[in-house]
Amino acid sequence: MSKIDTIKNVLICGGGLMGSNIAFVVSSVKEYEITVYDKFPVDVEAKIRMSTKQLVEKEIVAPEELEERLSRIHFTQDIDSEGVKNADLVIEAVFEDINVKQETFALLEERCRPDCIFCTNSSVMSPSWISEKLTHRERFVGTHFWNPGHLIPLVEVVKTDATDDETAETVMDFMRKIGKSPCLCKKDVPGFIANRMQHALWREAISIVENGIASAEDVDTAVKTSFGLRLPYLPPLVNSDLVGTTLTYQIHSTVLKAIEDTHEPSPLLKEMMDEGKLGFRAEKNAEGKRVGFMEYTDEDIEKINAGLNEYLIKMLYNK
Ligand SMILES: NC(=O)c1ccc[n+]([C@@H]2O[C@H](COP(=O)([O-])OP(=O)(O)OC[C@H]3O[C@@H](n4cnc5c(N)ncnc54)[C@H](O)[C@@H]3O)[C@@H](O)[C@H]2O)c1
C-alpha cells in the first residue's frame, strides 16, 4: 500500500542542473518542505530563478507563487542537518559517478530515518548497482527525470530486484502528486523504457545515413514531417491498434529483416569522432561552423538551445 500520506520532508541530494529543477517541481505541493544538500556551495535559488524565467514571463507561474515555493526550498552543505535526518524521501542527483553515488547513499543510510525512501536520478547507471552496498535495498528505487526537469513530464520509476511494491507505489504516487507523468519500469534494464526506444530510432537514423539511403537532413525532415508530428497524439502502440494488429504483423514480417540490428555503435560515429565532427561540441571549421551530421553557426546553436524550452512550453501549456 502506498505511503504517500506520510511524505512531508523531501531531500534533494545534489543541487546542480537536475537537482535544482527537481526541487522546484517538488515545491509545487504546498505541504512539502524541501532541503537541497550539496557537498559544494551552489546557488540553488539563482538556478531556479534562471530556469523558471520563461514560466514566470508567460504567466504560468505567478511571481508570488515562485517566492512562496522558493521559501520552502532550503539549501545546506551539512550532511548532519535536520533536513537530512528528517527526510521522508530522498532524490539523489549528484555527479554521474558510481563511487560518488554509492558513498552518498552510504552517508544517507547512516543518517536518515529507517523508513526513508531513497531514489536515484541516474540517467544510465543501474539503480541495482548504485544500491548494492545498502542494507535496506527494499526502500530504494530509480527515478529518472528528463532534462529540462521542470518541463518534461516523464519520470521513469525503476524497480530493482529488491525494491518492494510499497516503495514503488509510494514513489509513483509522489511523482503524480508533484505533477509528473510517472511510468513504472518493472525491470532494471539499460535505457529503462524511453531511452531504449529513443536509441532504437537513432540507430536506424544513423544507419540510413551510413548506408547512403538518405542524407542526414532528409532523415530528420522525414521524422519531423511524418510520424514525429503525430507521435504525442498517436504513440506507437495506439498506432498499432489503429492500423490493426494484422497489418503491424505484416509490416514487421518485411521491414524487420531490413532494418539495423547491430549491437555496436555505428562505425560512422567513430569516423566522425576521429574527424572532429562532434556536433555542437566540435571546434569551429574554417567557415566558423561546428560540424556533426550537419553544420551549425553559433547563432544556429543558440537558437536551437533557446528554442527547446519555448517549444516545450507551447506544447505543454499552449503559451
Ligand atoms: N543533465 C541531464 O540531462 C540529466 C538528465 C537525467 C538525469 N541526469 C542525472 O542526474 C544526475 C545529476 O546530473 P546534473 O546534470 O544535475 O549534474 P550537475 O553536475 O549539474 O550537478 C551535480 C551536483 O552534484 C553535486 N555533488 C557532487 N558530488 C556530491 C556529493 N558527494 N554529495 C553531494 N553533492 C554532490 C555537485 O556539486 C553538483 O551541484 C546525474 O546522475 C545525471 O546522470 C542528468
- State residue 128's pLDDT score: 98
- State residue 161's pLDDT score: 95
Q: Is 124 left (phi over 0), alpha (psi -120 to 50) or beta?
A: alpha
- Mean pLDDT, the chain, whole residue set: 97
- Both 145 and 259 in a single domain? no
- State residue 220's pLDDT score: 98
- The ranges of the chain with pLDDT < 70 are none
pLDDT digits (tens, 9 = 90+) for 282-308: 999 999 999 999 999 999 999 999 899
Question: Measured from the CB, is residue 123 less than 6 Å from ligand 1?
Answer: yes
- Both 59 and 146 in a single domain? yes
- Both 216 and 130 in a single domain? no
Structural domains counted in the chain: 3
- State residue 14's pLDDT score: 98
- Both 285 and 241 in a single domain? no
- State residue 306's pLDDT score: 86
Q: Does residue 156 have an active-site annotation?
A: yes
- State residue 231's pLDDT score: 97
Domain that holds residue 83: 4-185
- State residue 230's pLDDT score: 97
- Both 118 and 16 in a single domain? yes
Quick one: which of 57, 157, 176 has its CA closest to 117? 157
pLDDT digits (tens, 9 = 90+) for 179-199: 999 999 999 999 999 999 999
Q: Does residue 123 have an active-site annotation?
A: yes
C-alpha cell at 34: 524541501
pTM score, whole prediction: 0.96
Beta strands in 146-298 (DSSP E): 154-158, 181-185, 290-291, 295-296
Q: How far is CA 281 from CA 2, 146, 206, 276, 285, in A?
A: 44, 21, 18, 9, 12
Q: Which of 21, 27, 144, 150 is catalytic?
A: 144
Question: Measured from the CB, is residue 18 less than 6 Å from ligand 1?
Answer: yes
